[in-house]
Structure 1
Amino acid sequence: MKLSILLVEDNTTLAGTIVDFFTTEGHVVDFAPSAELALKLLENQVFDIAILDLTLPGMNGLELCHIIKTQPVMTMPVLLLTARDSVDDIVTGFNSGADDYLTKPFAMEELYVRIIALSRRNALHQNHIIDLGPLVVDRRRHKLLREGVEVKCTRMGFNIVKILAEAYPRVVSRTELIQKLWGNDETESDSLRSHMYQLRNCLDKRFSFQILKTVHSVGFTLENVTVNKA
């Protein structure tokens, strides 16, 4: 599958390396050294995925990511490149709408694997079935299958799994999850904890390995699953 990739990176040496690597793999990469130039490209082109450097001259990568993610016509996933690896920076990146992040320095092979995984996950959004190997989410019928067995859980539990499956492989922050589940409605601080406890009991307890994972001080994600092509 040939991807059309938007690369926004002010380090021309690194950008050249990324362009060469992905071009060799058969993909098309458009390069912009600033967020402002990237926005001009986005006015006339449709991309499958965007790779954004966090630190850019002028508008930074977080601001650009937020603009991309708040435009209904832009459905592409975004991966952030950052030299910052603190929990706060990671959470800020995810809260801006980023789908994944990679800390510099990194291996080109790892960037490539992450980009392919994000593009496959994004393709799954076009289908009401999200097939993650041992976990299948049927968004139309509101059903969960774990290793072929239907898992009975609450409506809130289903919604949590659906959000995590749609976001996989990235971590969904606690703030983002609460926003998607309850919107602007006030909720007690223990509500999410209670729902996660119930969900673990129905989704993981009777199986040989767990799927629901808590990432300390960051949020939640899924593990031991694999994105299957639609």
Structure 2
Amino acid sequence: MKKELIGKSVLVVEDDPKIRTLVKIYLTNEGYEVLEADNGIVAQEMIEKYDPCILILDLMLPGKSGEEICRWVRNDLGSMMPVIMLTAKASEKSRIDGFKLGADDYVVKPFSPAELMVRIEAVLRRTASRCGKLTFTGLTIKPAKGEAMVDGEPLDLTNFEFKLLHMFMQHPGQILSRTQILDTIYENNEKAVTERTIDVHIKNLREKIKEKTPKDYIQTVRGMGYKFAAN
């Protein structure tokens, strides 16, 4: 069971104790609750146990690399937890690969701790909807944790279904076209994805929700798309 942390919690994953201590001092001075891990295996354990609000992630780590951890967070956990990569890998390819894995920002060593604090605040502002939770008449989603519930009962959603539900709950009452959904949910212009694929995912999402409640949260707007009924 995850332990709920108070305030703005940050997990710093860094095998260099000097850098880890420096970052911790600045974070603590800014009012953050700081967790630490010095290798990839411990980092995974900390993420599962504490579910921090944001992850500061070195890439060259013992145990498991930062790339493996980021891939695990995004794909296996299905978590949208904000991730800032803090690394000595400075090449353009490394930066691009980091963003493709799902990083929200990429900071190269040596770095300015003051600038890192500003970047953390910027990422948290930009990803505010991915922390905390969204709730509408019994339906709750916790984006950073990758959890969705109906009246407290968990929904077993695929990664795509979770992203769909999150998108709908961010835009209650707003009609979303299939094209908008495609552009937002599916990255890298996946060739196999079509508007029909969206319909299938939404159908499956509806069926899973209706197993828990008769309320029709996701409504079809003929000729236009779909909308989330918040009330």
Range of TM-score over shorter length: 0.5 to 0.7
Task: Give secondary structure in 2 for the equivalent of 1:177.
Answer: coil
- Long gaps (5+) in structure 2: 1-5, 135-169, 195-231
User: Counterpart in 2 of 1:113?
Assistant: 118
Structure-2 change in CA distance of 1:115 and 1:73 (3 Å): same
Task: Give secondary structure in 2 for the equivalent of 1:70.
Answer: helix
Structure-2 change in CA distance of 1:35 and 1:177 (3 Å): same
Percent identity, please. Answer: 34
1:64 equivalenced with 2:69 (yes/no)? yes
Q: How far apart in 2 are the matches of 1:90 and 1:176?
A: 17
Using structure 2 for the length normalisation, give the TM-score: 0.57
The 5 Å alignment of 1:71-220 reads 71-72=76-77, 74-125=79-130, 139-140=171-172, 141-142=174-175, 156=179, 160=183, 162=184, 176-179=187-190, 182=191, 184-185=192-193
- Long gaps (5+) in structure 1: 128-137, 144-153, 164-174, 187-230
Task: Give secondary structure in 2 for the equivalent of 1:94.
Answer: helix
Instruction: Give the partner amino acid of 1:69.
Output: R
- Within the candidate set 12, 19, 31, 1:14 is matched to 19
Q: Is the 8 A contact 1:23 1:29 kept in 2?
A: yes
1:115-158 deviation per Cα after TM superposition (whole angstroms, max 9, x unaligned)? 1121222223467xxxxxxxxxx844257xxxxxxxxxx86468
1:47 equivalenced with 2:58 (yes/no)? no
Q: How far apart in 2 are the matches of 1:3 and 1:75?
A: 16
Q: How far apart in 2 are the matches of 1:94 and 1:122?
A: 15
Q: Is the 8 A contact 1:9 1:56 kept in 2?
A: yes
Using structure 1 for the length normalisation, give the TM-score: 0.58
Structure-2 change in CA distance of 1:10 and 1:185 (3 Å): same
Q: How far apart in 1 are the matches of 2:61 and 2:175?
A: 42
Q: How far apart in 1 are the matches of 2:89 and 2:77?
A: 29
Structure-2 change in CA distance of 1:44 and 1:158 (3 Å): closer
Q: Once the 2 structures are TM-superposed, how far is the Cα of residue 19 of structure 1 from its aligned partner?
A: 0.3
Q: How far apart in 2 are the matches of 1:86 and 1:113?
A: 23
Q: How far apart in 1 are the matches of 2:106 and 2:88?
A: 10
Q: What RMSD over aligned residues (CA atoms) do the two structures have, in Å?
A: 2.8
Task: Give secondary structure in 2 for the equivalent of 1:118.
Answer: helix
Question: How many positions carry a matched residue from both structures?
Answer: 152
Task: Give secondary structure in 2 for the equivalent of 1:74.
Answer: coil
